[in-house]
Amino acid sequence: MMEKRWKILAADENKVTALQQELKINKTICNILVERGIDDFEKAKTYFRPQLQGLHDAWLMKDMDKAVQRIVTAFEKKEKILVFGDYDVDGTTSVATMFQFLCKIYEPSLLDFYIPHRYREGYGVSKMGIDFAKENNFSLIISLDCGIKSVDLIAYAKTLGIDFVVCDHHLPDSILPDAVAILNPKQKDCNYPYKELCGCGVGFKLITALAQHFNIEAEHYYCYLDLVATAIAADIVPMTGENRIMAFYGLQRINSDPNPGIKALIELGGIQKKLSINNVVFVIAPRVNAAGRMDDARKAVQLFIEPDYKKALEFAAMLHSDNSDRKEADSSITEEALAIIDADDALVNRKTTVVFKDHWHKGVVGIVASRMIEKYYRPTVVLTQSGDVVAGSARSVPGFNLYEAVHACREYLLGYGGHFAAAGLSLLPENVEAFSNKFESVVAATIEEHLLVPEIIIDAPVSFASLNNSFYSIISQMEPFGPENMRPVFVAKNVWDTGYSKIVKELHIRFVVKQDNVTLTGIGFNMAEKFHLLQLKKPVDIVFTIDENEWNGTTSLQLKVIDLRLSE
């Protein structure tokens, strides 16, 4: 385990005191709330009691009137409408949601959906998709989670008499496609108050506006919040504002009356208890993504639109088996990739990782890059061969602009695209070594040394004495957790081992530790190599989150320990 940097956040003392006087709850929690911008009674109320009434007016989004008008015209003229979306969770849930809603209010025989094939067509709006629309007499395409950058393809569609309504959340370039309407709150001149919706969230806003136009009751679109919540969780968008409201009510739906497809995935994932956002991220999302990675993502949409639970189970079983293939591919490739680095000290000591084998499965190279960073914490590129071309994925460490670094190596690349944290690239086999060396020299020259050491963000110091059920109950009400609203991480200082802590399964530590005279138990996964610190009979500082543990019918608080070190 590599040493990590600890960064303890601090909040404005005056604001914390004022908030505590208003809320009359534990000061540590007030600290965390103020750090997250929740600094008065009203904001706290909206945060702890999310309300669907808190969702913004869909008509505030730029072009919403144009989008609704174009769809209404299509209905009146009996035009065929194609719902088009990307092959990941956000894309497939967007398509399933829009397609089901349109089927409720329009002739299903005039509707279809299209998901581009990850390898034959690639990401986003595709020429094959537009040609499919033309051959089958579709004159309107609603693109979801993609389209904002498809300037040429949308112009091509226009020459064929096909209009586009684009629903997207990716950052727009300065040149926008010539679509009938572009719904994307990230457009500079869009006054929509919340900018962080995912693709499915933007699609949900269009559905809301359509429903309002036709005076349809809200329950006819709130019923899709389980799918929207799945997209929000999987697409790693901020868990703030509207996203948190939709995730909150979507999770309630997942746990009470889910879509048959989601229910089938929960069944196969073997989850008995109430699902949290974390379960959605780790159980539902990978199985949906696996379809596009290993085969064809169409079946993910078929799963989500299937009303019959028995049939949904059959689709879920296909995704489940795609996911088993994906797991097998990514663990065996990760093993091979780590072996390449481990075997060569020169590679171990680099500031970057670039690995290439021509037989690796291209559907999992991005996952492998993320896995490698767990051991070698630095910008990482994993490449494989596809035909005559080498292609792959790059992943960064927080704080380093990966796209800039890849851009600086463009002389060796055929193509590349991406953003701050992740990128995709392609090159000729004979340029792999030159690219690898150039990437290393660019990163080594520009990365700040501290970025190569992982950082743990700690929300607040806490004493064992204050960790009781009422404290935990308030922490639980901060859910759903996600980016910008993470599960709070605490540090407790001068903690002593009771002598009862032990190593479990050679990898983990079972903690039994005390501070002053309060004893708590906990688990630290994959922390066994730090066990010797507990045996020194010296005080330690531990970093942890709080969890509940059920055992023999009794529930007690337990620590999930993330890191520890000797107290200063």
What lies within 8 Å, CB to CB, of 474 at 6+ separation is 25, 26, 29
More confident residue, 135 or 362: 135
Give the pLDDT confidence score for residue 122 in this predicted structure: 79
What lies within 8 Å, CB to CB, of 293 at 6+ separation is 118, 322, 326, 363, 364
Expressed in percent and rounded to 5, the helix, strand and coil fractions of the chain are 45, 20, 35
Give the pLDDT confidence score for residue 44 in this predicted structure: 96
DSSP conformation letters of 64-118 = HHHHHHHHHHHHHTT-EEEEEE-SSHHHHHHHHHHHHHHHHHS-GGGEEEE---T
Per-residue pLDDT tens over the stretch 309-344:
999 999 999 998 888 888 888 899 999 999 999 999
Give the pLDDT confidence score for residue 341 in this predicted structure: 96
Mean pLDDT of the chain: 94
Q: Taking a C-beta distance cutoff of 8 angstroms, is the pair 170, 196 a contact?
A: no
Q: Taking a C-beta distance cutoff of 8 angstroms, is the pair 165, 70 a contact?
A: yes
Per-residue pLDDT tens over the stretch 472-526:
999 999 999 999 999 999 999 999 999 899 999 999 999 999 999 999 999 999 9
Q: How confident is the model at residue 123 (pLDDT cuts 50, 70, 90)?
A: confident
Per-residue pLDDT tens over the stretch 246-279:
999 999 999 999 999 999 999 988 888 888 888 8
Closest CA relative to residue 198, chosen from 222, 225, 166, 168? 168
Q: Is 216 a residue whose pLDDT tops 90?
A: yes
Per-residue pLDDT tens over the stretch 369-413:
999 999 999 999 999 998 999 999 999 999 999 999 999 999 999
Give the pLDDT confidence score for residue 482 in this predicted structure: 93
Give the pLDDT confidence score for residue 1 in this predicted structure: 56
Q: Which two structure tokens, joined as six digits, stand for 32?
A: 């965390």
The Cα–Cα gap between 320 and 261 comes to 12
Give the whole-number percent of the chain exceeding pLDDT 90: 82
Per-residue pLDDT tens over the stretch 10-34:
999 999 999 999 999 999 999 999 9
pTM value? 0.90
Closest CA relative to residue 67, chosen from 156, 141, 161? 141
CB atoms within 10 A of CB 193: 12
Give the pLDDT confidence score for residue 54 in this predicted structure: 95
Query: How many Cα atoms occupy the beta-carbon half-sphere of 256 within 13 Å?
Result: 8
Q: Is 452 a residue whose pLDDT tops 60?
A: yes
